[in-house]
Amino acid sequence: MTVTDAPRIVTARLGQEGSHTLERYLAAGGYEGLRKALAMRPDEVAAEVDAVSLLGRGGAGFPAGRKWSMLRKAPTTYLVVNGDESEPATFKDHLLLEGDPHQLIEGVVIAAYAIQAARAFIYVRGEFALGLERVQAALNEAYEHGAVGRDIFGSGFSIDIVVHPGAGAYICGEETALLESLEGKRGFPRIKPPYFPAAVGLYGEPTVVNNVETLSNLPWVLVHGSGAFTALGAGRSTGTRLFALAGHVANPGVYEVEMVKTTFRDLVYDDALGGGIPGGRGLKALIPGGVSAPWFGPEHLDLPLGQDEVGEAGSMLGSGSVVVMDDTTCVVRAAWRITRFFWRESCGQCTPCREGSGWLEKVLRRIEEGAGRESDVDLLMDLCDNLAPGVSWPPQQTTICVLGPSIPSSIASAVRMFRDDFLVHVKEGGCPHG
Amino acid sequence: MNAAAAAGEGAGHLTEERRARALELVSLYPHPRSALVPLCHLAQEQDGWLVPAAVEEIAGLVGITPAEVLGTASFYEMLHTEPVGTYVVSVCTNIACMLQGAYELLDHIEQRLGVRPGSTTADGTFTLEDVECIADCGRAPCLAVNHRFVGNVTPESFDRLVDDLVAGRLADDIPAHGTLVRVRRRGGLAVDDDTVWAEREAMAQRLAAAAAEGQS
């Protein structure tokens, strides 16, 4: 399904009958990566992962190997899997959890061995009922198979994994909020510093938090070696990555493509991928990397899907979601809906986010509904400036976590790219799109 | 286990079988409070929502006050502190679904069920809510019934869904609200902390020895 001839690393089995079962996983060479890892020293496994520049697939894109190497030395360390996928229009981990849970579990045990974790927790978004059932069933099979639990494959390494359901809160995807939630509290992001759970994490102990897709890469890396992985992609963006494509495209879905060698145009228009915009309509804008990311216009279509390439162009690959908006889209409504999301999901700890999100939502709604004023457009930008001074990218921080300062992304994009659309709403007393 | 749980404080609301599962959940974590959200899901499996007696029992199980349980539970969308219908219909209206007509679909659903988001039908069968992205955007517009996903929803397919639910034709696929995970963890923890501790300590010494050898 890739436009290059790169192998499918994490989606090889997706879509096949019974892909979630141990039987199918073993038939496809499952748990060989773990056997290989257990025959190595933990620091050798960590070095192998560090060598591949496995950029975190959750949103921040921090290299997994670096994250591991920052662990504070302590008798007890934890591994926590972030399966709280909630960034709007991101639905790749959802597929991995339901479709290939053994691949994740194998990745978890490999990582736990490398960092010598005392216990691992897989935090799965509560809404993923089927995903939770599939992961638990796979874990039960893995215990029976000897791949988890006591003396794994006779190696002398033992670890337990606990599947933990969330209960509906976007903010719990932020890793310190996730740890609070896992401790049985409200999902309030923790004040930084310490910046990384590697220093102070779950129950105050050093903790590594890795995303589902990130860890799902590990079995392949161990089997094929770091060289095979770094042969794919370019620069820091090695390997393949999952992109969740949604909005106005013929074939919405999750696609695994080679990083950097694939462009936004490939993703949206290639027949094997998005298949283009229905009805022959043009592209108005696309949102790369989740709704926290600044938008791109048609002039960015040939940009490679690489973390630094997209970062230098003023946005981010973020959570790996791409939303396509065709030329009939009301961008005021789109910006309003995204802002409404942030307003509903703000945890309320910090004033700029709690208050700012609500006021931005109100102003956008009145423009969309036809009660806007011409000065509202500047008012929006002024409010955005309060949340993220300068409204630049990456945003200046005013709050404990990045949720608040991400709110201006869509609004500033819509205002800067389509200011006239806002003015037409004001002058015509409502949305010209109806 | 904490003293309150050992003494059975607050016990008596959860069925005997669920009480046993509750104690197992608590045992999975180094600190009992970590089991709070899973215990709330367990209580909702029994009652559909968090009834006050369940909140008290959970408080006893994890060693905090009922107010702390409620204060935490109220943060989370999936935990209900008021009664809900047998089927909670969660309609996504976020960006990907909105671009595929989610608000027009929601209009139809409101008409069909006769309630607005946030309310429950008079017969207690359906609760309607408009929710943020539920991560099924490849099949937008989508919704979930008791967290079981339904994609590519049209007004017609929604009407059929309602008919099937009311007639009990989907009982195997979509359990009553509150039942989240029907797969039981088998065996509990397989390794005790002392075993893990001893293994990690031995490995640390092995690594230190290897490092010393590398330097010499």
Give me the residue spans of the domains in chain A: 22-229, 232-326, 331-428
CA separation for the pair A215, A133 (Å, rounded): 19
Radius of gyration (Cα) for chain B, nearest Å?
Answer: 23
What percent of chain A shows pLDDT beyond 90? 96
Say yes or no for a CB contact (<8 Å) between B181 and A187. Answer: no
User: Is any Cβ of chain A less than 8 angstroms from the Cβ of B51?
Assistant: no
Residue B213 has a pLDDT of: 86
Question: Mean pLDDT, to the nearest integer, of A143-162?
Answer: 97
Question: Mean pLDDT, to the nearest integer, of A353-359?
Answer: 98
Alpha-carbon torsion (A194, A197, A203, A205), positive or negative? negative
Q: pLDDT tens digits, residue range A362-419?
A: 999 999 999 999 999 999 999 999 999 999 999 999 999 999 999 999 999 999 999 9
Antiparallel, parallel or unpaired: β A119-124 and A78-83: parallel
**Between residues 317 and 376 of chain A, which touch chain B (CB distance below 8 Å)?**
321, 323, 325, 329, 333-334, 337-338, 341, 344-345, 347
Q: Which residues of chain B fall short of a pLDDT of 70?
A: 1-7, 216
**pLDDT above 80 for A434:** no
Query: Nearest Cβ partner of B189 from A125, A160, A344?
Result: A160
* CATH node for B87-166: 3.40.30.10
According to DSSP, the residues that pair with A263 across neighbouring strands are A304
Query: Nearest Cβ partner of A246 from B31, B96, B185?
Result: B96
CA separation for the pair B84, B73 (Å, rounded): 15
Query: Nearest Cβ partner of A149 from B133, B138, B191?
Result: B191
Determine contact, residues A340/A264, Cβ cutoff 8 Å: no
- Set of chain A residues whose Cβ sits within 8 Å of the Cβ of B65: none
Determine contact, residues B166/B4, Cβ cutoff 8 Å: no
CATH 3.20.20.80 fits A22-229, yes or no: no
Residue A119, CA distances (Å) to A108, A225, B192 in order = 10, 26, 11
Say yes or no for a CB contact (<8 Å) between B79 and A167. Answer: yes
**Residue B111: which residues within 8 A CB-CB, separation 6 or more?**
none
Residue B2 has a pLDDT of: 66
**pLDDT above 70 for A127:** yes
Closest chain B CA to residue A116: B200
In DSSP notation, B83-101 reads ---SEEEEEE-SHHHHTTT
CA separation for the pair A121, A210 (Å, rounded): 11
Antiparallel, parallel or unpaired: β B126-131 and B143-145: unpaired
CA separation for the pair B109, B94 (Å, rounded): 16
Choose from B99, B129, B149 for mutation: most chain A CBs within 10 A. B99
In DSSP notation, A12-51 reads TTTTSTTTTSHHHHHHTTTTHHHHHHHTS-HHHHHHHHHH
Choose from A183, A185, A407 for mutation: most chain B CBs within 10 A. A185
**Between residues 230 and 269 of chain A, which touch chain B (CB distance below 8 Å)?**
244-248, 252-254
Residue A392 has a pLDDT of: 95
Domain B3-73 adopts which CATH fold?
Answer: Arc Repressor Mutant, subunit A (1.10.10)
User: Is any Cβ of chain B less than 8 angstroms from the Cβ of A161?
Assistant: no
Q: pLDDT tens digits, residue range A41-99?
A: 999 999 999 999 899 999 999 999 999 999 999 889 999 999 999 999 999 999 999 99
DSSP state of A63: B
Residue B10 has a pLDDT of: 79
Residues of CATH 3.40.30.10 domain(s) within chain B?
87-166
Residue B216 has a pLDDT of: 63
Residue B4 has a pLDDT of: 63
Query: Nearest Cβ partner of B95 from A93, A187, A334?
Result: A334
- The pTM assigned to this predicted structure is 0.97
Closest chain B CA to residue A188: B75
Closest chain B CA to residue A252: B138
User: Is any Cβ of chain A less than 8 angstroms from the Cβ of B25?
Assistant: no
Determine contact, residues A102/A10, Cβ cutoff 8 Å: no
User: Is any Cβ of chain B less than 8 angstroms from the Cβ of A88?
Assistant: yes
Residue A71 has a pLDDT of: 95
Average pLDDT value for chain A: 96
CATH 3.30.479.10 fits A331-428, yes or no: no
- A116: pLDDT confidence band, cut at 50, 70 and 90? very high
CA separation for the pair A410, A416 (Å, rounded): 10
Determine contact, residues A304/A263, Cβ cutoff 8 Å: yes
Residue A432 has a pLDDT of: 81
Question: Mean pLDDT, to the nearest integer, of A142-161?
Answer: 97
CA separation for the pair A100, A107 (Å, rounded): 11
Q: pLDDT tens digits, residue range A277-298?
A: 999 999 999 999 999 999 999 9
User: Is any Cβ of chain B less than 8 angstroms from the Cβ of A434?
Assistant: no
Helices (H), A52-91: 64-69
Determine contact, residues A9/A256, Cβ cutoff 8 Å: yes
Say yes or no for a CB contact (<8 Å) between B181 and A129. Answer: yes
According to DSSP, the residues that pair with B206 across neighbouring strands are none
Determine contact, residues A205/A74, Cβ cutoff 8 Å: yes
CA separation for the pair A92, A95 (Å, rounded): 5
Say yes or no for a CB contact (<8 Å) between B30 and A323. Answer: no
Say yes or no for a CB contact (<8 Å) between B197 and A89. Answer: no
Residue B141 has a pLDDT of: 98
Residue A1 has a pLDDT of: 44
Options 3.40.50.300, 3.10.20.600, 3.40.309.10, 1.20.1090.10; CATH for A232-326 is: 3.10.20.600
Residues of CATH 1.10.10.1590 domain(s) within chain B?
3-73
- Chains A and B: how many Cβ contacts under 8 Å? 203
Choose from B191, B193, B197, B206 for mutation: most chain A CBs within 10 A. B191
Q: pLDDT tens digits, residue range A167-192?
A: 999 999 999 999 999 999 999 999 99
Task: Give the H or E element holding residue B207.
Answer: helix B193-215
Q: Looking at CA atoms only, how far is residue B136 from chain A in angstroms?
A: 6
